[in-house]
Every structure is written in C-alpha cells, then in structure tokens.
Structure 1
Amino acid sequence: MTSERAPRIAVGPARDARFEQAVVGGGGVPCGFEDAPDALIWTTGPDGFPETLPPSVRWVQLPSAGVEYWLSQGIVRDHPHVTWTSAAGAYSATVAEHALMLLLAGVRALPAHLAATSWAPETLAPSVGTLRGATVGIIGAGGVGRALVPMLATLGAHTLAVTRSGRPVPGAVETFPVERIDEIWPLADHFVISAIATTDVERLVGAAELAAMKPTAWVINVARGDLVDTDALVAALRSGAIAGAALDVTDPEPLPDGHPLWTIPNAVVTPHDSNPAPLRIPAYLEHVTENVTRFASGLAPSPVIDPSAGY
C-alpha cells in the first residue's frame, strides 16, 4: 500500500469486532467482503472459504501456522495473484512452552507420581531424571523449536537441531541438515518433534529411529501425528526401548477410546491443545495487527506462503 489511503480490510467468514479492532490498530479500515477490500483476514479453517475473491484483494491472512490443507485443496493455487500469509511464528512460544512441560513431565517421572496411590518415594526415585546437562534433539527447529532452545538453556540443557537447510540455529550446539537426521538419534538424550507440517514429510520417527535412541529417551511430538509411527512407538514403549513419549498430536487423531496409548504408563497424551483458543486468539490478533501495519506501510506481510515449499 502507498500512503494515499488506509487499506480496506475485510474479516471473514463473519465480521468480528476483535479482529476489526486489530485491523484498526495496524492502520487499516475494516470493511465488508462486498466493499472491494484490499485484503482479507480469515479467522477459521478452510471450510467455507469463498471460491472467488473480489479482484481488489491483494493479500489474505490465514489463521494457522501449518497450511498443508489449504495447499492440498488448491485454495492458494486458485488465487495466484494474491499474497498469502500464514500465522507461522505467532504461536511458537505457546507451543514451545507446552513441549517443555511435556518433556519435564516425562523426565521428572510425573506420570508415575500421578498414578501413585501410596507414599513410596523409593520406588519412583530410579525413574526421575533432570534436564540439567541433558542434550535435547529438536527435529524441525522452526519457530517452535527456536522458541524452545532458550527455554531449555535456562534449565541447563543443550540442544541439537535439525532443519531442512542445516543453517545454524541460534543457541543450538550443532545444527544438522535433514539429510543427516540419522546421526542425531543416538546422540541426544531426548527429542522434541516440531517439524513444519508439509505433505511431503511423514514418519520421521519409526522403528529404526526408536531403536537407535537411548533407553532413557523421551520423545515429545507437538508437530503432526503422522511424523511418528504409532505402532512402532507403542512397541518401543512396551518393550522399554525408550523411557517414554508425550504426544500433543497423534495418528490417528482424535486418538480413539481404548487405544494403547491411553493406558501405557510411560505415555502421556494431550488432546492437541498446545495452542488452546484462550491463548491462540490473542496471539493471532497480535499477528494480524503486525501484518496490517506492514501492509499499510507498503511492506510485504509475513510469512509469505510458498506453495512449492509447502509452507
């Protein structure tokens, strides 16, 4: 945008005072979808997204960090002259905090403590560990992983990172390109899966990877359920090949009643709520204001979705 006028920005699928206030905070003017908006702030999932956009729309802001469904359905492809941005990075600190909570719960034997019905510290002591001096492998050190690195450092833990490019991640002891991911499994003490959700990546952790880990390792998944082979994970948990797993995402999802992961004592499952609505909406509102500010100033909103990369 130039400085000639403030951009007209619609909020969909329905007008929402909270998001219109965020638009105003960024220097935009809220308007209806029928009023030739310059941009569209979308607040829900892909269902119900309009098949056609007004020709005036030059930018669309999506509410999710992962955009694989938007891409697989052709929604982004069908509007090639529009700049599309995701909410990647907006929720990083919230999800990283949840991942740290799960990791600490595992390392400090919280599941066993919660299951206890009598005072028997001597039986629990051997399973209690610490993150002080431990090495944590972060598989997919994007926004969430980078937010997690300093949290772990505060507790005295070291990090090894895996990214697509292998470019150094600030604070990590070493960063591996994804082509060298097999090197990390025997090196780290614990693992956090926080890889960006793309359609071309699945089953990063299977039977071979679990077998290569230390028997004291905890595996945390806050990314996508199918990045971990569920059957292989259940077998590893039951055999003691690894110490435990804590999952905010599962395959299948929702995890059905009666699934072994609900009752295996060294498994922790949270129902995909690492980024719950009470925290997600304020973070998204802040992201909207920041991007509207950029758009109104003639700068490109961020991060721009690259269909060829899948995010």
Structure 2
Amino acid sequence: MSTGESATGRHRPVAGAPGVAARTGARPEPGPVAIEPEAQPAFVAAARSAGADVQPLSAATRGLVWTSSSGEGDLEAVLAAHPGISWVQLPWAGVDAFSGLLARHRGDGRTWTSAKGAYAQPVAEHALALTLAVLRELPRRVRATGWEADERGRSLYGARAVIVGAGGIAVELLRLVAPFDVRATVVRRADAPVPGAARTLTFDRLHEALADAEVVVVAAALTAETRGLLGASAFAAMPDGAVLVNVARGAVVDTDALVAALASGRLAGAGLDVTEPEPLPSGHPLWRASNCLVTPHVADTEAMTVPLFARRIAENAAAFLGHGAFAGRIDLGAGY
C-alpha cells in the first residue's frame, strides 16, 4: 500500500461549526475542468472519478483546480486569459495567500472553493502533540545536555482551554481533547454554540475568554479581523503560566509580543507550527527561547494532504456537474 493510500484511510474531512452562513450565489456553468499548474495523477483521477472532463486550459475551460500556493499573480493571469472559468478550487484551507485576488473578484459571479476542513484531522492532531509537549516541558528538556531532575510539567487533564476559531481544526481538536476532560471556550465571529465547547464567545470578548486560560490554541483563518489578534494586550490578559499553540497562521499572533511574553516568563511556553515571518529566519529569538517549540509548518505533510485534496476535488467536481453541494465554499465577504 502506498503512503497516499494509507493516509486516505486514516483521515477524513471535518466541517467547521455552524454559525455564519456563506453566501451561495448561482450554480456555476459546467464544462471542461483544467488542473493547473501541476496536474498530479491523483488529482486528475479524482476529478474524472466524479465525471469531470479534464482537459488542458482552453477557451472552453469552465472549472479550474489550482494546485499552487506560491502567490496569486499566476492565477490572476489565468483567470484574465480564460474569463469563462466559473468555478475555482484553491489548494489550501487558508486562502490568505489569495486575499487580494479574492477581494478583486468579489461579485464576479464565480464560485470559489478551498480545502477548509479537508486537512483538519492531521492539523488538530499536531495541535494536540504541541500542547502536550509544551505542558510537559519538552521544549526545554530536548535542549538539555545533562540529567536535570525537577518537578516541572503539567497535565492536560481538566485544563481550561481557549480555542480561537471554529473551523474543522477546532471541531476536531475538541473531539481529541474530550477524553482529557478539558473545559474549552471557543472564540469565533459568531456566538453560536460549538459542540464540545463549554461556551462560545465572539472576538470582541477574547480577553474575557483568556482570563483563566491555561492553554490557548490558535486555529482561526487569517483575515483583516484576526491579523495580530493575539498581541501584547492578549498576553497580558492571560494568567501567569498559560501556554500558546498556533497551528493556523503566524500573523494571527504578534511575534514581537510573543517573544516578550516568553522571555518574561509570564507565558510559560509556546508550540508553533506557523510563524510570522515564515520561514522563521535562523537566529530568530523564537529559535533560542528554551520554552518554545517550533515545527516548520508540517502539521499536514504532503503524504496527508494529497489524498485529502484529491477527495475534495472529487466532491467539488461532482458539485460542479450538478451533483451535490460544494464543500469548503469561500465567503468572499468574510475572506475565507
């Protein structure tokens, strides 16, 4: 069995918590689908399994599966040259790399979908791993060069946690921490209840949520509203000894404020799979902080994402042809 086949059997997409409904708009015009700029065999097979006519880009192209996250310029050029495209599938759950393009195309009548929810399980698993590692003082212990006997280290059992965001990652993480009897507060745009959370608060009540948090996990999309959301005032609102985990986007956290909070000791530790800037430069203070563990944006590896994205392509190619609803539909007004 190949790595991809194994990963397909292990993970499934996870929908975010209900709350703010995205505007749906008209159903796109069906037609040939192009997969650009790299048409991996798994992606082509997935689209064809749904009945899509996968062809190279042409004037007849109506659906586009975009497989690059390197920036929006190339995609903008493709859309300009092929105005008949009515559905665009983006490759990642977060669409901040395409934020300018999405804003410019608001109201153009196209249907835009992302991979949100597709990679939630592996990312939530990584968030749990980072949380346990930081609570158990592993960032400091892996740097040790001798036996350092002490009584440091805390348990996740019964902890008070705040999860910022209510997408698939948050929903799956709530499921994963349920056996630990974690009392979780979710902070999100809407105050609609989230299954598994003790309470739900809106972003304007973030500091209230943080007041007794032992663990704070960032799992929110990067938007104008969330950029820098966790800054100096947010860290000041946390009790001494809280820990932070970020598996969303680095820019949701103010890096300078994070470095200061870690250095002061008020923030006991941090586990980061994403940073701002990214990649994190060699010599950056976060690399040197003994209470910080950084992983290089590997919460969902290619072995995990390829089969999951293929599944999303198949589902949305079917919807494009009129069979079922689109998954991961982007709300251009909200920006994700």
SS of the aligned residue for 2:64 comes to strand
Which stretch has the larger CA shift, 186-195 or 207-216?
207-216
TM-score (norm 2): 0.84
**Among the aligned pairs, what percent are the same residue?**
40
User: Paired residue for 1:10?
Assistant: 34
Q: Which whole-Å CA distance do the structure 2 matches of 1:13 and 1:208 have between them? A: 43
> Partner residue of 2:126?
98
Write out aligned runs for 1:1-311 (5 A). Answer: 7-34=31-58, 36-45=60-69, 46-49=72-75, 50-52=78-80, 54-73=82-101, 77=105, 80-120=108-148, 122-123=149-150, 125=151, 127-311=152-336
Given residue 92 of structure 1, which amino acid in structure 2 is its aligned partner? A
CA contact (8 A) 1:86 1:304 kept: yes
Contact in 2 for aligned 1:87/1:284 (Cα 8 Å): yes
- The DSSP-based 3-state class of the residue aligned with 2:187 is strand
> Structure 1 residues 213 and 74 mapped into 2: Cα distance closer, same or farther (>3 Å)?
closer
1:68–1:199 CA contact under 8 A, matched in 2: no
Q: Which runs of 5+ in 2 are unaligned?
A: 1-29
Q: Detail structure 1 runs of 4+ shifted over 6 Å in the superposition.
A: none
Specify whether residues 210 and 34 from structure 1 end up closer, same or farther in structure 2 by C-alpha distance, changes over 3 A only: same
Aligned counterpart, 1:3: none
Distance 1:301 1:11 in 2: 17
For 2:189, give the aligned amino acid. R
Q: In the alignment, residue 163 of structure 1 is paired with which amino acid? A: R
In the TM superposition, residue 253 of structure 1 has moved relative to its aligned partner by 1.9
CA contact (8 A) 2:220 2:226 kept: no
The alignment covers a number of residue pairs equal to 303
C-alpha contact (below 8 Å) 1:15/1:32 kept by paired residues:
no
Shift of 1:156: 2.7
Task: Give the Cα separation in 1 of the matches to 2:37 and 2:106.
Answer: 18
Check the 8 A contact 1:71/1:307 in 2, yes or no: no
Structure 1 CA distance, aligned partners of 2:224 and 2:119?
Answer: 21
